[in-house]
């Protein structure tokens, strides 16, 4: 294999693209798991964009006013009526978890097992906190406000279907991420990756950052629109 | 770049902490757009700008895309351009559906009647 010998002299830019794609050899100079995770995330991007595009379509085409998210998701805390506050807190929690994850990847490559494990567990804990707050939000909407996938008292009937579909699918991703993080954190602690290297932490990190990335779009397009 | 040969991404901690703070600031700005109740074009452009900046920092720095080789970057970031076409088409389609509904439905569109029907059945 010639890729091993000239690995240090790989051309960059457009020539690099041509060289990497041609000549019956490995195209991506990253661990295979990382390339596969990126391709999985690409397919997930298509799924989430389809949901968001469907939401955009029903929202633009309905003749009934759309419920105002700023008021639907407002909370009264200590006598103050604050718009969208729960969603803002959830956003900050997810960003915090993204930060701890980025640090975990860094400590993984430094082979600091204890710090990597602790940071990954912290990330999982923030994720669990996010899902709990989402459960609270769903309960409030279903029980107190009477939102259903087929209708709601505030306006356009499609609001419930879009809301449950999009945030539900995102919540499912966060829940799976929490499990995935916990498993890998345990294996890091046990020392399973001492011989194989710590690329796995970066791969878990890609998944987790993607979950945060999707939330950025949901936050802007569903809650702030 | 040394990272290209090593095969994994190792960068100084400071850059992650800097981006982390930046994401907090940008999220606060997005929230404030709603809090202060900006409307119309101002609201739209601010929301989209903050959203794209956050997305860019997450993908570029946290997911290390900025340091990957161009072959991987193009393989992952070019296919989503198809999605922009889908969004454009569905936007046009949505407007067309609204106009059709406005033209053929009365002041009381069927959608709201379905809502009310379910309300009374509770």
Cβ of A213 under 8 Å from any chain B Cβ? yes
Question: Rounded to the nearest 10 degrees, what angle do helices B13-35 and A85-109 cross at?
Answer: 170
d(C-alpha A31, C-alpha A29), whole Å: 7
Q: Which value does ipTM take for this structure?
A: 0.85
- A29 Cα to chain B: minimum distance (Å): 6
Tell me how many residue pairs between chain A and chain B have CB atoms under 8 A apart. 193
Of B16, B59, B79, the CB nearest to A99: B16
Structure-block tokens of residue A161: 């279907």
Instruction: Decide if pLDDT at A220 tops 60.
Output: yes
pLDDT of residue B80: 94
Cα-Cα-Cα-Cα dihedral sign, residues A60, A66, A69, A70: positive
Domain that residue A149 falls in: 31-223
pLDDT, one tens digit per residue, over B52-63 is: 999 999 999 999
Whether residue A6 is found in the same domain as residue A67: no
Instruction: Decide if pLDDT at B120 tops 50.
Output: no
d(C-alpha A94, C-alpha A171), whole Å: 12
* Buried b or exposed e, range A91-100, using 16+ CB within 10 angstroms: bbbbbbbbbb
Instruction: Decide if pLDDT at A8 tops 60.
Output: yes
- Surface of A (77-136) touching B: CB under 8 A: 83-84, 88, 91-92, 95, 98-99, 101-103, 105-106, 109-110
d(C-alpha B119, C-alpha B122), whole Å: 6
Closest CA to B70 of A8, A15, A199: A15
Contacts of A61 in chain B (CB under 8 A): 93-95, 97-98, 101
Whether residue A136 is found in the same domain as residue A121: yes
Whether residue A43 is found in the same domain as residue A5: no
Whether residue A115 is found in the same domain as residue A61: yes
Of A28, A45, A102, the CB nearest to B62: A102
Mean pLDDT of chain A: 91
B109-121 average pLDDT score: 47
Whether residue A12 is found in the same domain as residue A58: no
Whether residue A104 is found in the same domain as residue A189: yes
Mean pLDDT of chain B: 83
Whether residue A194 is found in the same domain as residue A138: yes
Judge whether A213 and A43 are in contact, CB under 8 Å: no
d(C-alpha A7, C-alpha A25), whole Å: 12
pLDDT, one tens digit per residue, over B6-52 is: 556 788 899 999 999 999 999 999 999 888 888 889 999 999 999 99
Judge whether B26 and B50 are in contact, CB under 8 Å: yes
Instruction: Decide if pLDDT at A166 tops 80.
Output: yes
Total domains present in chain A? 2
Structure-block tokens of residue A175: 């829940």
End-to-end Cα distance, chain B:
64
Whether residue A182 is found in the same domain as residue A206: yes
The DSSP call for residue B67 is G
Whether residue A207 is found in the same domain as residue A188: yes
Whether residue A19 is found in the same domain as residue A55: no
Query: Which residue of chain B comes nearest to A73, CA vs CA?
Result: B34
pLDDT of residue B1: 40
- B51 Cα to chain A: minimum distance (Å): 6
CATH classification of the domain holding A157: 1.20.120.80
Cβ of B42 under 8 Å from any chain A Cβ? no
Contacts of A110 in chain B (CB under 8 A): 10
Which residue's structure tokens are 């900006």?
B38
Of A42, A106, A152, the CB nearest to B76: A42
Structure-block tokens of residue A214: 């999707």
The DSSP call for residue B78 is S
Whether residue A136 is found in the same domain as residue A161: yes
Judge whether B114 and A146 are in contact, CB under 8 Å: no
Q: What's phi and psi for B44, nearest 5 deg?
A: -60, -50
End-to-end Cα distance, chain A:
53
Structure-block tokens of residue A181: 């993080």
Interface touch A213/B79, C-beta < 8 Å: no
The model's pTM? 0.86
Whether residue A52 is found in the same domain as residue A130: yes
Please give the full DSSP string across chain A, using - where no structure is assigned: -HHHHTGGG---HHHHHHHHHSSSS-S--S-HHHHHHHHHHHHHHHHHHHHHHHHHHHHHH-SSPPP-HHHHT-EEETTEEETTHHHHHHHHHHHHHHHHHHHHHHHHHTT-HHHHHHHHHHHHHHHHHHHHHHHHHHHIIIIIS--BTTB-TTS-THHHHHHHHHHHHHHHHHHHHHHHHHHHHHHHHHTTTTTT-SHHHHHHHHHHHHHHHHHHHHIIIII--
d(C-alpha A87, C-alpha A75), whole Å: 10
């Amino acid at each position: 294999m010639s890729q091993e010998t000239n690995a240090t002299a790989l051309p960059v830019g457009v020539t690099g693209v041509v060289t990497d794609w041609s000549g019956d050899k490995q195209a991506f100079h990253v661990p295979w798991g990382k390339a596969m995770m990126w391709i999985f995330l690409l397919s997930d991007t298509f799924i989430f964009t389809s949901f968001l595009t469907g939401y955009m379509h029903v929202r633009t085409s309905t003749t009934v006013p759309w419920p105002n998210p700023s008021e639907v998701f407002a909370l009264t805390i200590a006598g103050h009526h604050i718009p969208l506050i729960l969603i803002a807190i959830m956003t900050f929690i997810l960003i915090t978890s993204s930060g701890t994850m980025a640090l975990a990847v860094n400590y993984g490559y430094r082979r600091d097992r204890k710090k990597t494990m602790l940071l990954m567990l912290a990330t999982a804990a923030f994720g669990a906190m996010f899902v709990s707050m989402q459960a609270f939000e769903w309960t409030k909407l279903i029980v107190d406000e009477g939102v259903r996938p087929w209708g709601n008292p505030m306006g356009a009937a499609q609001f419930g279907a879009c809301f449950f579909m999009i945030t539900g699918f995102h919540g499912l991703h966060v829940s799976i991420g929490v499990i995935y993080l916990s498993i890998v954190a345990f294996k890091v602690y046990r020392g399973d990756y001492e011989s194989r290297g710590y690329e796995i932490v970066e791969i878990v990190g890609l998944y987790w950052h993607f979950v945060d990335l999707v939330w950025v779009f949901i936050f802007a397009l569903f809650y702030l629109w | 770049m040394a990272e290209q040969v090593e095969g994994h991404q190792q960068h100084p901690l400071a850059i992650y902490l800097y981006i982390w703070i930046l994401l907090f600031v940008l999220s606060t700005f997005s929230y404030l757009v709603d809090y202060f109740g900006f409307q119309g074009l101002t609201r739209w452009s601010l929301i989209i700008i903050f959203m794209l900046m956050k997305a860019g920092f997450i993908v570029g720095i946290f997911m290390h895309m900025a340091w990957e080789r161009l072959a991987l970057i193009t393989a992952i970031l070019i296919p989503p351009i198809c999605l922009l076409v889908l969004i454009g088409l569905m936007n046009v389609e949505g407007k067309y559906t609204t106009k059709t509904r406005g033209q053929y439905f009365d002041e009381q569109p069927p959608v709201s009647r379905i809502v009310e029907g379910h309300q009374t059945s509770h």
